[in-house]
Structure 1
Amino acid sequence: MSGTDTAAAPAEWVGVPRARRRPGLSIYSILLMMLLFVSVLSSIVVGVIGYINGTEALRAIAYERLVEIRENRAREVDELFTSIENSVRLGSLNATSIQAARAFSDGFRELQSAEPDAAASAELTEYYRDVFAPQLAEVSGEEVDGDAFVPQSPAQAYLQERYVIPYDTWEEAIQVDDAGDGSAWSAAHAQYHEYYRAMTELQRFEDVLMLDTEGNVIYTAFKGVDLGTNLFDGPYRLTNLADAYREVMSANLVGNVVFEDFDPYNPSLGAPSGWAVTPIAENGTIIGALAIELPIDRINEVMTVGEEWQDNGLGTTGETYLVGEDTLMRSVSRSLLEDPEAYERAAVAAGLSPDAAALGVADGNTLLRQTVSTEAVTKALAGERGTTVTPDYLGRDSLTAYAPLAIDGLPWAIVAQQATAEALVPVEDFTRNLILSTAGMIVFVCLLSLVLAQVFVRPLRRLKLAAHMIAGGQEGVQVDAGSSDELADVATAFNDMSRSLQVKSSLIEQQEKANERLILSFMPEGMASRYKGGDDAITQDSDDVTVIFADIMGFEELALSMTSEESIARLNDLIRTFDEAAERHGVERVRTTRQSYLASCGLGTPRVDHARRAVEFALELSEILERYSNQQGVELGLRAGLDSGKVTSGLIGRARVVYDMWGDAVNLAFRVQGESAEAGIYVTQRVADRIPDSLVLQPAGDVETQTGTQRVWRVESPAVMVEG
């Protein structure tokens, strides 16, 4: 019974149960995730790299622009002070200044012995007490004793009574040539004042002064209260003018110019004055000194670029200015010029005293008014140069380029700056645009990934079915990939691959041959091989070469009667004919211009008879132009210069390569043909020594070279030789 029951029982699986297939991600899901991951990650990485590189590049560009502006202004300031130095030096060395110094000194000494005029002395005392002292006290903010400035010497009192106090303004005083008092000083003034007035006005100097050897100011153009004063014991003995005068006179060097930095100058009612002083000498003996007051307006014009900041790359907030070693400005602030009220508020808020800010607004200038104690100025005054981001003198964060100025006697710093908010606008715009474009790219690649995943999976399913069929032993299985999807393109591409490779190989070979011909058309074969090999510093020295530099005379006049197309066509015909002649004679063309032809013989292929070949080639060129002139009814001629010697040839440039030749032989060939205005073939002695005696040479002058004089000969054409 048990065996029957066992046999009748249903079959059961015996052994280890088969593991169920675990559910996993489909190929579509995996492919979609891969596409999304790679696309989004690459977009983010590219965006981050682009942001870092782009912002750094834009910041570097902003700094480079400020450095360039700083260097331009520094160069112009240096040129300005060089011009001032030269003007002062020349002004002191001419005969007019020597004669004027003698005349004014003699006239001044004569006035020193004049009897004092009680009425005039009283008038002067009243002027200094009631006019000069109150004006100076108002601008200086301190009490001023007018009696301390009253003239003490008879000459000073005499001159100021007639040339200073009668006039309300300096502009009126400078126009007076003669007070009509009949003194020797007035006679000298009538004779020489026009010259110094013109110097002052044309050079826009603040004033021009002349001093004698005893420290007396014996002449001023604007007739300030310093006229007649003594810089050794007078009220202005402690001024920067007195310092410059003492330095010049103690040096005792004719032609020496001493610059003195700006400082408040009481005769100008406390206005800043800087000086350039030089001695006046006669026959090597110093007889006085010439002093000019530095032109503030010209300095400001240089630093403000004529107030055309935006046209010079400084935008709406950029500026350049000068700072002295006392950290005070030596030029005007842009903010003051554009909006005085806003400048005053900002300057006071940044720490400038209200009185200094008000004086700057009243004067219309920040010279010796505005303090600039920034990091950039500190480094520049210490001799450093560079760029930084730092708050400026008005408290604005600014990109700043700073450097010291190399002007003798003036330890100044130059600063170019622009508000960070404006200078870095391109960085902000770039960042915003990069973020938006990266976000848009991410959205786009997500949508594209969805579509591509669908497209990629469909042919894979067909390939899976075909693989099963092949595994089942079927032969000649064809995968129907459709007529418009990628698998159909892949199948067609594989079938056409070998044929297309052959065609492309042929095309590449043809292109390489065309490139080879193109390269060989403007450089020798040896250099072409090195150029194709990646060598970017290709030169060749040749010790014995004949250079031909030829000009087509008359072609420019002929071209004026033609259109551009016609003139180029005719020129190409001539150059083509020249090239054919060059090939026949073994001459190698180097380069051509509109009417010039530079060639050599013996450069690429060394030749013993390179000089003869070059001369024969030049003669054929002359014949070509003669035939062309007869055929076309025009007048063209050849002016050629030839020289033999050492030359260097090579490739110049990287993005656009040019084959060129240079050296003494090239320079001399050019000079030889340029020395004569007449057509002809001109050769140096070195060429003449190498050509056959059958060629007739006529002397054509000499040219000077670094190695001595070179004789030049003119080669007579065969026609001229027969006639002769």
Structure 2
Amino acid sequence: MVRLSGALARGSRLRSLGFQSKLLIMLLSVSIVSVVIAGAIGYVSGTTSLRNAEYQRLTQLRESRAREIKTFYTEVTDAASIVTHGTQTIAAANEFSKAFNELQTTPLPPGAQQAVANYYSTVFGPALAQRTGQPVDASLFEPTNNAAMYLQNAYTVAAQGNEQAAIKVVSAGDPSAWSAVNARYQPFFADLTQRFKFGDAMILDTQGNVVYTAYKGVDLGANVTNGPYSTTALAATYRKALQATSVDQTFISDFERYAPSYGRPTQWVLSPIGRDGSIAGVLALQLSLDSINDVMTGQGHWVDDGLGQSGETYLAGPDKLMRSVSRELLTDPKHYVEEVVADGTPEDIAQRQVAVKGSVLLQSVDKYAVNRALTGETGVTTSRDYIGPEALVAYSPLEIPGLDWVLVAKIDRSEALAPVTTFARNIALSTAAIVLVVSLLALLFSRILTRPIKSLGAAVRRVAGGELGVSVPVTAQDEIGELASAFNDMSASLQTKQLLIDEQRRENDELLATLMPEPVARRYRDGEENISTHYRDVSVIYIQLLGFDEFSRSMPSGESVAMLNSLVESFDGAAERHGVEQVRSMQDNGLLATCGLVVPRVDHASRTIAFAQELTEIMHRFNDQHGARLAIRAGIDSGPVTSGLVGQRSKIYALWGEAVDLANRVHSATKTPGVFVSDRVHEAVVGIYSFSDAGTLSGAEGNEPVWRLDVGTRQSV
């Protein structure tokens, strides 16, 4: 009962509202709902398009980086394969192996063993511990064979960890055969290492001995099949290279923390040394992490590469650790630590990355994109990555033989979709503005409808002022409604009469337009009587249609008129395209036209010739279609002319002057079809069109050449 009473009360209040209020509520409801729905549809459609465009751009960045990194590895493996096939490298492997074996039985210099032990305990061990952040028992890495002890005493200890000094040494000055071989080959391998920015270049014999290194580190003389380096990626990749089925094969290792490089992430490219299926050893090239980072960071030009302020591309391995450096680690280390720690990275690992300025084999990227890519999928998604807020991420496996890596391109969602946010804000503001305008219009309209008498009076005043088509809404069937209906009938009648007058005026204007140019017709309508205008430089063309009379005699008159009309329509279309104005039609199926008269044109001569050339083409098509043999003969001249209206009762638009006269005489110079031009026209366009001599015309100043246009030819300018 209470609900029924409330509904009746609301209904009573609604009925008690005035017509203005009801109309206002209806208009506002319909308008606001329509605007909101349209805005919502526009927002959804627009944001979806913008988001898809950003995904596509990120995918293109991912593919670009993938091509670059694959090209890098291809170039490195190709270089390794070329070097290992060279006579010099093969000879070096054989000679270093032989000299190394001789050192196994060569007595060590006095104090050599102690000098090597001191180097490991005072130089190598502390440096390795500092780099890795872990305590190191350096004695585990000391050489165990006589040759390694001999070489490290002569070269490694002497350099005291200075790699740049070590690579410049070609001989330790000792009498060993190994130093003599090193003196011959060190310049070549040092140049190879430094030119291609390798971390080191090694030669291993077929027993796993490192018989040569460019930088003479602590792995010089070591054996990778036993001892401290037997479990390294270098050793595993060496065994693959030694078992290669072809000396053309190359093998790439994944990154590892290699002790002789002081625990830095190290990657190797190995290739068998030899020729014709005979392996003399293995060449191991240590890749520079800086070179890989340069590719993945675009050498620090992230913004130029389209990655904005937050985007980056990085590599990840099957252990879900990074294989390239993080952008924010380089640009803002403090914020980087805060972000990765918040994501779950242990703080000591984060601080370690800052200390070594690298995230390879340290930063975990166990995220959705990496996991999907490791399963072989390629795609894009929106998710949180190892750093920063939610991001747009494009991922794919990286197809490099020997490496189970993936490549990820990412950019913060807020930055990538900033245009979407701006678009949404604009939609919201536009919707609000439209609602406001609609509300004001609805209020105004409702007030107007409540004042029918005032509206009718305003309408009467408008009609009295000369406005036509005025009508007022008939909102009632009372006397005011009848008055409004009568007013509307009167207004409609006046409008109909005015439309008839306007239509007659329009027909008159169209008729004038066919008889004279619009500027002349305007002056004529304004009442000017003596109308003439002088033009200094225009082109005039006389055209005569040849053969139509004979052609039309073989068909009914109606059909001949229709064909003539189609030709005229084609001519008119060509004239409009080239800016040519028809002056008048003449007897004998001819016409007179100009270019540059109504609309001044600097290229009026070229346009007129192009028009004549197109008319020739139109005639060719007409002849092919109807089996006719029609042609045109046209004469063209450029120069001063005068135009105007002549006659008293019957006005005729006429054109006279030197150019008109010469064009007519050029047109009449021959009875053969073609396009003929005066010498003035020929000189103006001689570099554009091709002409042939067509004789001369006699005039007051002597004979003047006439030129025939070679139709269909137009020279390059």
TM (norm. structure 2) is 0.64
Distance, in Å, in 2 between the alignment partners of 1:516 and 1:253 is 78
1:289 paired with 2:282, answer yes
Distance, in Å, in 2 between the alignment partners of 1:307 and 1:569 is 58
Distance, in Å, in 2 between the alignment partners of 1:94 and 1:503 is 95
- Report SS of the residue matched to 2:136: coil
- Report SS of the residue matched to 2:29: helix
Query: Structure 1 pair 505/192, CA: closer, same or farther in 2 (3 Å)?
Result: farther
1:344 deviates by 2.2
Question: Relative to structure 2, which stretch is displaced further, 257-266 or 27-36?
Answer: 27-36
Checking the alignment, whether the CA contact within 8 Å between 2:206 and 2:282 is kept in structure 1 is yes
Query: Structure 1 pair 332/420, CA: closer, same or farther in 2 (3 Å)?
Result: same
Checking the alignment, whether the CA contact within 8 Å between 1:388 and 1:399 is kept in structure 2 is yes
Match of 1:440 among 424, 428, 433: 433
Distance, in Å, in 2 between the alignment partners of 1:229 and 1:150 is 9
- Report SS of the residue matched to 2:81: helix
Distance, in Å, in 1 between the alignment partners of 2:605 and 2:156 is 77
1:186 deviates by 2.1
Aligned residue identity for 2:355? A
Match of 1:668 in 2: none
Query: Structure 1 pair 236/453, CA: closer, same or farther in 2 (3 Å)?
Result: same
Distance, in Å, in 2 between the alignment partners of 1:379 and 1:197 is 42
Match of 2:312 in 1: 319
1:573 deviates by 9.9
Aligned residue identity for 1:344? V
1:207 paired with 2:200, answer yes
- Report SS of the residue matched to 2:228: coil
Post-superposition Cα deviations, 1:448-488, rounded to whole Å, max 9, x if no partner, equal: 2233445566359966499878999x9x9664878xxxx89
Match of 2:340 among 328, 341, 347: 347
Aligned residue identity for 1:447? L
Match of 1:410 among 380, 399, 403: 403
- Report SS of the residue matched to 1:166: helix
Query: Structure 1 pair 446/477, CA: closer, same or farther in 2 (3 Å)?
Result: closer
- Report SS of the residue matched to 1:232: coil
Distance, in Å, in 2 between the alignment partners of 1:386 and 1:515 is 59
Query: Structure 1 pair 102/315, CA: closer, same or farther in 2 (3 Å)?
Result: same
1:222 deviates by 1.6
Query: Structure 1 pair 107/493, CA: closer, same or farther in 2 (3 Å)?
Result: farther
Match of 1:103 among 91, 95, 102: 95
Aligned residue identity for 1:187? A
Checking the alignment, whether the CA contact within 8 Å between 1:328 and 1:370 is kept in structure 2 is yes
1:377 deviates by 0.8
Match of 1:278 among 251, 271, 283: 271
Query: Structure 1 pair 372/162, CA: closer, same or farther in 2 (3 Å)?
Result: same
Distance, in Å, in 2 between the alignment partners of 1:362 and 1:253 is 43
Match of 1:171 in 2: 164
Match of 1:361 among 354, 365, 372: 354
Distance, in Å, in 1 between the alignment partners of 2:232 and 2:475 is 105
- Report SS of the residue matched to 2:60: helix
1:147 paired with 2:147, answer no
1:305 paired with 2:283, answer no
1:52 paired with 2:35, answer no
- Report SS of the residue matched to 2:438: helix
1:162 paired with 2:164, answer no
Distance, in Å, in 1 between the alignment partners of 2:363 and 2:69 is 20
1:35 deviates by 3.4
Checking the alignment, whether the CA contact within 8 Å between 1:128 and 1:147 is kept in structure 2 is yes
Match of 2:10 in 1: none
Distance, in Å, in 2 between the alignment partners of 1:478 and 1:327 is 85
Segments of structure 1 that go 5 or more residues without pairing to the other structure are 1-21, 522-564, 587-601, 606-623, 639-724
- Report SS of the residue matched to 1:312: coil
Checking the alignment, whether the CA contact within 8 Å between 2:605 and 2:684 is kept in structure 1 is no
1:72 paired with 2:64, answer yes
Match of 2:221 among 225, 228, 238: 228
Query: Structure 1 pair 91/499, CA: closer, same or farther in 2 (3 Å)?
Result: farther
Checking the alignment, whether the CA contact within 8 Å between 1:88 and 1:278 is kept in structure 2 is yes
Checking the alignment, whether the CA contact within 8 Å between 1:272 and 1:368 is kept in structure 2 is yes
Aligned residue identity for 1:419? D
Checking the alignment, whether the CA contact within 8 Å between 1:391 and 1:397 is kept in structure 2 is yes
Distance, in Å, in 2 between the alignment partners of 1:217 and 1:326 is 29
TM (norm. structure 1) is 0.64
Aligned residue identity for 1:384? E
1:260 deviates by 0.6
Distance, in Å, in 2 between the alignment partners of 1:436 and 1:404 is 44
Identity of aligned residues (%): 37
Distance, in Å, in 2 between the alignment partners of 1:462 and 1:576 is 54
Checking the alignment, whether the CA contact within 8 Å between 1:466 and 1:478 is kept in structure 2 is no
Post-superposition Cα deviations, 1:532-590, rounded to whole Å, max 9, x if no partner, equal: xxxxxxxxxxxxxxxxxxxxxxxxxxxxxxxxx99x9999999899989988999xxxx
Distance, in Å, in 1 between the alignment partners of 2:686 and 2:495 is 66
1:28 deviates by 5.3
Match of 1:398 in 2: 391
Distance, in Å, in 2 between the alignment partners of 1:52 and 1:432 is 13
Checking the alignment, whether the CA contact within 8 Å between 1:329 and 1:369 is kept in structure 2 is yes
Checking the alignment, whether the CA contact within 8 Å between 2:606 and 2:685 is kept in structure 1 is no
Post-superposition Cα deviations, 1:9-41, rounded to whole Å, max 9, x if no partner, equal: xxxxxxxxxxxxx98877655654443333222
Match of 1:380 among 373, 386, 394: 373
Checking the alignment, whether the CA contact within 8 Å between 1:469 and 1:477 is kept in structure 2 is no
Match of 2:528 in 1: none
1:283 deviates by 3.6
1:505 deviates by 13
Query: Structure 1 pair 330/497, CA: closer, same or farther in 2 (3 Å)?
Result: farther
- Structure of larger gyration radius: 2
Checking the alignment, whether the CA contact within 8 Å between 1:63 and 1:399 is kept in structure 2 is yes
Match of 1:184 in 2: 177
Match of 1:562 in 2: none
1:380 deviates by 0.9
Question: Relative to structure 2, which stretch is displaced further, 150-159 or 321-330?
Answer: 150-159
Checking the alignment, whether the CA contact within 8 Å between 2:166 and 2:216 is kept in structure 1 is yes
Match of 1:129 in 2: 121
Query: Structure 1 pair 489/74, CA: closer, same or farther in 2 (3 Å)?
Result: farther
Query: Structure 1 pair 204/492, CA: closer, same or farther in 2 (3 Å)?
Result: farther
Query: Structure 1 pair 464/230, CA: closer, same or farther in 2 (3 Å)?
Result: closer
Aligned residue identity for 2:371? T
Match of 2:585 in 1: none
Distance, in Å, in 1 between the alignment partners of 2:409 and 2:311 is 7
Post-superposition Cα deviations, 1:41-76, rounded to whole Å, max 9, x if no partner, equal: 221111111121122222222222221211111111
Match of 1:239 among 208, 232, 239: 232
- Report SS of the residue matched to 1:310: coil
Query: Structure 1 pair 462/585, CA: closer, same or farther in 2 (3 Å)?
Result: closer
Structure 1 vs Structure 2 CA RMSD: 4.5
Post-superposition Cα deviations, 1:596-618, rounded to whole Å, max 9, x if no partner, equal: xxxxxx9x99xxxxxxxxxxxxx
Match of 1:81 among 73, 86, 91: 73
Distance, in Å, in 2 between the alignment partners of 1:481 and 1:81 is 89
Match of 2:325 in 1: 332
1:635 deviates by 10
Query: Structure 1 pair 224/490, CA: closer, same or farther in 2 (3 Å)?
Result: farther
Match of 1:429 among 397, 406, 422: 422
Distance, in Å, in 1 between the alignment partners of 2:173 and 2:481 is 129
Distance, in Å, in 2 between the alignment partners of 1:207 and 1:257 is 17
1:177 deviates by 2.0
Query: Structure 1 pair 463/226, CA: closer, same or farther in 2 (3 Å)?
Result: closer
Match of 2:547 in 1: none
Match of 2:109 in 1: 117
Query: Structure 1 pair 490/308, CA: closer, same or farther in 2 (3 Å)?
Result: farther
Query: Structure 1 pair 514/214, CA: closer, same or farther in 2 (3 Å)?
Result: farther
Match of 1:620 in 2: none
Segments of structure 2 that go 5 or more residues without pairing to the other structure are 1-13, 460-470, 514-564, 578-600, 627-675, 691-717
Distance, in Å, in 2 between the alignment partners of 1:441 and 1:247 is 73
**Aligned ranges for residues 555-594 of structure 1 at < 5 Å?**
none
**Aligned ranges for residues 459-538 of structure 1 at < 5 Å?**
464=474, 479=488
Query: Structure 1 pair 218/465, CA: closer, same or farther in 2 (3 Å)?
Result: closer
